[in-house]
Structure formats: structure tokens, C-alpha cells
């Protein structure tokens, strides 16, 4: 089954991310890609470079970032492939352990959601 994982945390300047974290992530994603687990993913630009399109009062409203009301932002994403739910949970825990080890004090979350295919499989 395919999953989409979002990493959420406080929005920080890139220079506040420890170099060891970048190194660990590069190695980890390469290992997971070789296993066929990590399909694609990456980090996201700061919210200052973002916009939101929303429906309010029956009309589409576009708001440019940054979004000051956000305490946590999605900082990265990954498309993953796991055989079971349990395997996906274990993978998310392993991924978050990298943060504990290489970015002490960082707090955030990794939300993992199954991808529902829009086109029925034949």
C-alpha cells in the first residue's frame, strides 16, 4: 500500500537545521529508496513563498503567505510504499528517531496517511 507522510513542526530558518540531520536524512532516504519504500519526497519552501486558495462565502479567496496563525507547518513530505500498516508505523517511528538523535530538542510530528486510488484497479 502507498502512503503519504507529512513532517510537521515549527517553521525555522534552514540554517537552524543541524548539518548532521541533513546527512542522516540523505542516507536514510537513499537506504529506503533502495528497498522500494521511499518513492519520492522532499522539503517544502518556507510559508513566505506559499499561498492558500480557500472557499469563503461561496467564493475562492487566495491568501499569500506567510501564515502567522500557523504554529506548526508541513516542512516535508514523502510518498512511501509499505506492505502493511504495522510496517508503516515502524517506518514512521524509525524516521522520527532520526530527529531525536540528530536534532536534539526539536519537536514535531509525522502524519502518515494511506493513499486512496482515484481510479479503481483492474
- Phi and psi at 93, nearest 5°, equal -65, -45
pLDDT of 121: 61
CA-closest candidate to residue 96, choices 111, 87, 109, 85:
109
CA distances, 119 to each of 83, 85, 116 (Å): 20, 22, 9
pLDDT of 67: 77
Our CA dihedral for 90, 93, 94, 97, rounded to 10 degrees, sits at -160
pLDDT of 15: 85
**Threshold 0.95, pTM exceeds:** no
CA distances, 15 to each of 19, 21, 72 (Å): 9, 12, 18
What structural domains and CATH numbers belong to the chain?
2-114 (3.30.70.1060)
Give me the tens of pLDDT residue by residue for the chain, a chain 122 residues long. 999 999 999 988 888 889 999 999 999 999 999 999 999 999 999 889 999 999 999 999 999 988 777 778 999 999 999 999 999 999 999 999 999 999 999 999 999 999 998 776 66
pLDDT of 71: 79
The alpha carbon of 30 is separated from its chain's Cα centroid by a whole number of angstroms, namely 16
Amino acid at each position: 500500500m502507498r502512503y503519504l507522510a507529512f513532517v510537521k513542526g515549527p517553521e525555522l530558518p534552514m540554517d537552524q537545521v543541524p548539518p548532521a540531520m541533513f546527512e542522516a536524512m540523505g542516507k536514510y532516504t537513499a537506504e529506503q529508496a533502495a528497498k522500494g519504500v521511499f518513492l519520492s519526497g522532499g522539503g517544502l519552501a518556507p510559508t513566505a513563498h506559499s499561498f492558500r486558495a480557500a472557499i469563503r462565502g461561496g467564493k475562492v479567496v487566495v491568501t499569500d503567505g506567510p501564515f502567522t496563525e500557523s504554529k506548526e507547518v508541513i516542512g516535508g513530505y514523502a510518498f512511501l510504499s509499505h506492505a502493511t500498516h504495522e510496517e508503516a508505523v515502524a517506518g514512521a517511528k524509525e524516521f522520527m528517531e532520526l530527529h531525536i538523535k540528530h536534532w536534539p530538542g526539536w519537536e514535531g510530528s509525522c502524519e502518515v496517511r494511506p493513499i486512496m486510488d482515484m481510479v479503481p484497479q483492474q
